[in-house]
């Protein structure tokens, strides 16, 4: 079947950009993105396209081109589902915060609600595509729910996990390393796979579109994130050893990354990985392995998270130790709050946890991030529930000028690798700080020699 109408449930960081690119590349397909969140949909429809709710380089241009032509954002979930031949489910699948599997398993509540809604409103056959990241074998749950519709409509379920990274989403979507599509190996299943292959083939070379059975596809997504996060934890574990041995972790990364079997990517030591997915997906993998009684497999992957938590704590600890074991009443400037550069997303950002450790020691924090709204910083801290909202507001200030953030500070900590931090007038920052002026570079992005020549005392990760 040639697809002419797509519906995507979930207008978040994946649904929005992914569908915008499909609409841009396939003008003959009508793409409707729906969400229960009215404010989010209103923001996607804002006449000022720079106000769309997801900040990604190049995204507003893509939305401007396709929106109103063949790309639509709506809260009419039922209508869009019924009209479509293909329905993507791109809703959130966070870690469960209650009941069995609390703290590890994926909460599939929203996925199941989508399946029930599709079953309830569909009057015609559809291909249902899992775009959300899901535990292996979720498709069988969806199949079960969708086979009880009463309307006689039938469904094929495909797994088509998304591999985009935030900050580079548009480029990743336009030029993906691969697109993965898993489906039933029956005749109907293969036809459904073919329909989705045809959509992507409008711009992705065929050899980059991989097809598998549905379980391999579901598991490959968790595996890809686990492997990427494992590389970060591996290099971060060695950053601590570097700090004790005068080896320099950036030099070690370069030395091992030039081995073509290892490769240079994802070897940047940092204050710890963040983002909505690495931790959640590994915990999910750990949970699944334990469910099958595979303790060693579960323990192996859990260590990636343990190391990441250690790295965040360790960074805060190093700041405290260096500032003579007390940060009480001392002003520390945070440059960056987002979990990585070029995004306004703060989910699981290392900055949140480092801030929390320092606030426990009664430090006074001053935060600057080029894209994160003020209220988001407080929402992130309040969510941890370590202290009251009023205390967070009195101990931490969010400012919109980096020089203001650093004025009269004892130390500056770099939490996000925004490019602009490199280009600041560091002499001016130094002149307005208390002395000795410390810099803690949690991303290894600053020119250490230059800062030391100015007079800063610099501590970077892994050196
Ligand atoms: P998100 O929270 O930004 O967006 C999810 C949206 O789904 C929300 O706007 C929510 O209101 C909506 N929603 C939930 N239930 C709904 C329902 N029943 N009907 C209509 N709308 C509903 O999440 P996200 O970051 O876009 O992630 C979505 C999925 O994609 C997750 O499974 C995630 O693991 C996966 N993923 C995320 C990324 C990423 O970079 N963020 C990358 C690859 C995969
Ligand atoms: C990651 C994967 O890269 C995507 O392929 C995947 O689709 C996505 O998760 C997902 O499933 O959500 P994302 O989290 O957006 O993408 O960003 P990454 O570039 O992977 O960075 C994740 C975290 O690791 C960031 O905090 C980043 O700063 C950190 N990181 C990354 C390092 O500390 N060092 C590195 O060398 C690389």
DSSP 92-133: --PBP-SSTTTTTSB--HHHHHHHHHHHHH--S-EEEEE-S-
Residues of the chain with pLDDT under 70: none
pLDDT of 160: 98
According to the model, what pLDDT value does residue 277 have?
96
Burial 205-227 (b: 16+ CB within 10 A, else e): eeeebebbebeebbbbbbebbbe
Residue among 56, 166, 307 whose CB has most ligand 2 atoms within 8 A, to mutate: 166
**CB–CB of 320/399 below 8 Å?**
no
Q: Among 96, 221, 268, 459, which one carries the catalytic annotation?
A: 221
pLDDT at residue 392 in the model: 97
Is there a catalytic annotation at residue 277?
yes
- 450 as an active site residue: the answer is no
Rounded Cα gap, residues 180 and 50, in angstroms: 31
Cα separation, 171 vs 181, whole angstroms: 20
Quick one: which ligand is closest to 121's CA? 1
Residue nearest atom 20 of ligand 1, based on CA coordinates: 35
**CA 23 – ligand 1 centroid, Å:** 19
> What is residue 249's predicted lDDT score, i.e. its pLDDT?
97
Burial label for 355, CB within 10 Å (0-12, 13-18, 19+), is buried
User: Of 411, 398, 331, 408, which is closest to residue 371 (Cα–Cα)?
Assistant: 398
**All residues at 6 or more sequence positions from 297 whose CB lies less than 8 Å from its CB, including other chains:** 289
Q: What is the largest CA-CA distance in the chain?
A: 75
Q: Which atom of ligand 2 is nearest to the CA of 163?
A: 7
Of 11, 9, 13, the closest CA to residue 276 belongs to: 13
* Chain mean position to CA 207: 27
pLDDT value at position 303? 98
Task: Centre a 10 Å sphere on the Cβ of residue 38 and count the other Cβ atoms it contains.
Answer: 9
């Amino acid at each position: 079947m040639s697809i002419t109408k797509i519906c995507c449930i979930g207008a978040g960081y994946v649904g929005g950009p992914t569908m915008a690119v499909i609409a841009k590349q396939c003008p003959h397909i009508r793409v409707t993105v729906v969400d229960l969140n009215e404010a989010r949909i209103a923001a996607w429809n804002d006449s000022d396209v720079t106000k769309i709710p997801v900040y990604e380089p190049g995204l507003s241009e893509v939305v401007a081109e396709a929106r109103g032509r063949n790309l639509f954002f709506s809260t009419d979930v039922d209508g869009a589902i019924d009209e479509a031949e293909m329905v993507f489910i791109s809703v959130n699948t966070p870690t469960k915060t209650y009941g069995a599997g609390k703290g590890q398993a994926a909460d599939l509540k929203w996925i199941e609600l989508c399946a029930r809604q599709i079953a309830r409103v569909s009057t015609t056959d559809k291909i249902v595509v899992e775009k959300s990241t899901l535990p292996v074998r979720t498709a069988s749950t969806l199949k079960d729910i969708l086979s009880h519709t009463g309307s006689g409509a039938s469904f094929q379920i495909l797994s088509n996990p998304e591999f985009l990274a935030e900050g580079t989403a548009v480029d990743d979507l336009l030029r993906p390393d691969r697109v993965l599509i898993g489906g039933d190996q029956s005749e109907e299943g293969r036809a459904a796979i073919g329909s989705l292959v045809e959509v992507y083939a409008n711009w992705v070379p065929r050899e980059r579109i991989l097809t598998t059975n549905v379980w391999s596809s579901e598991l490959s997504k968790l595996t890809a994130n686990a492997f990427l996060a494992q590389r970060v934890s591996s290099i971060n574990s060695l950053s601590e050893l570097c700090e004790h041995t005068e080896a320099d972790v950036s030099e070690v990364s370069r030395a091992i990354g030039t081995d073509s079997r290892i490769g240079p990517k994802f070897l940047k030591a940092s204050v710890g990985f963040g983002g909505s997915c690495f931790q959640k997906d590994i915990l999910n993998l750990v949970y699944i392995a334990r469910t099958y009684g595979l303790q060693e497999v579960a323990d192996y992957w859990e260590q990636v998270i343990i190391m990441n938590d250690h790295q965040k704590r360790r960074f805060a600890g190093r700041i405290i130790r260096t500032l003579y074991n007390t940060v009480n009443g001392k002003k520390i400037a945070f440059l960056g709050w987002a979990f990585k550069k070029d995004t306004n997303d703060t989910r699981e950002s290392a900055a949140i946890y480092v801030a929390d450790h320092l606030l426990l020691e009664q430090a006074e924090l001053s935060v600057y991030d080029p894209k994160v709204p003020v209220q988001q910083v407080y929402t992130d801290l309040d969510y941890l529930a370590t202290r009251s909202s009023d205390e967070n507001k009195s101990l931490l200030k969010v400012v919109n000028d980096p020089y203001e953030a650093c004025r009269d500070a004892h130390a500056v900590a770099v939490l996000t690798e925004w490019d602009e931090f490199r280009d600041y007038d560091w002499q001016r920052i130094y002149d307005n700080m208390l002395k000795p002026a410390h810099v803690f570079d949690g991303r290894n992005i600053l020119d250490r020699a230059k800062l030391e020549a100015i007079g800063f005392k610099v501590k970077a990760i892994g050196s």
